[in-house]
Structure 1
Amino acid sequence: MRKMPATRPPNTVPKYCQAMKGTGPNFIGQYIGFLVYVWTVYGNGFWVYPTTISSGILYGYVWRTSHYEYSQFRVSMIDCLY
């Protein structure tokens, strides 16, 4: 497991980008170790620091208002990322 980010995410939320829609594990894999903003198929979004992808599951640190929390979720639940 990689270390969580040392800094908070930006206060601003990036604009939704349909050009990134339909991302998959290979595409998302290039963002391992980088802070990204993720929109889910349910319309909600959050900052995440991905650490690994395995069997269609993304593992990493999700920003929860005031701290990072290690979490996991299905790549198929990601609508797009920035």
Structure 2
Amino acid sequence: MDFTPGPQGQFPGAEAAPRSAPPNFIPEAPQMESRTFGAPGRPGVPVSPQFGFVRPGQIRRCIHRYTFIWLVNGNSFWFYPTFVGNQFVQGFRWRRNRWEFERINLRRILFFRCF
């Protein structure tokens, strides 16, 4: 896959940001189960049945939908994905009351939920 900048220096999936703010609520954090699963770079991370390790095929269903993301470092935020590659998702992150373009490595995402 070619990820060289296109017209106006944009990358694939770097189309216009959403025209409105994300939903006006913060979803409840996922409930952890007692069972754990290993994954590259994250052995033994607890997993909830409605959430899970992020694979490209899973988060691809959230393209162009408001998505709440929980990172492995404890941060969480609203995101609007526009493109999913094999190792990253890119789109717009809600920060300081505006959408900012961002690329996130899938290994950094612990859970996500799209609406």
Q: Aligned pair count?
A: 82
Give the alignment partner of residue 59 of structure 2, picking from 28, 34, 46.
28
Show structure 2 runs of 5+ residues with no match: 1-13, 31-47
Taking only aligned residues, the RMSD between alpha carbons, in angstroms, comes to 1.2
Question: Given the alignment of the two structures, is residue 5 of structure 1 paired with residue 36 of structure 2, yes or no?
Answer: no
Q: Distance in 1 between the 2:102 and 2:73 partners?
A: 17
State the Cα deviation string for residues 49-75 of structure 1 (Å, max 9, x = none): 000012311110000021000000101
Structure possessing the higher radius of gyration over alpha carbons: 2
Show structure 1 runs of 5+ residues with no match: none
Q: Which has the higher strand share?
A: 1
Percent identity, please: 27
Judge which range, 15-24 or 50-59, deviates more.
15-24
Equivalent pair of 2:88/2:103 in contact (CA under 8 Å): yes
- Normalised by the length of structure 1, the TM-score is 0.91
- Normalised by the length of structure 2, the TM-score is 0.66
State the match for 2:27 in structure 1: 14
Judge which range, 1-10 or 71-80, deviates more.
1-10
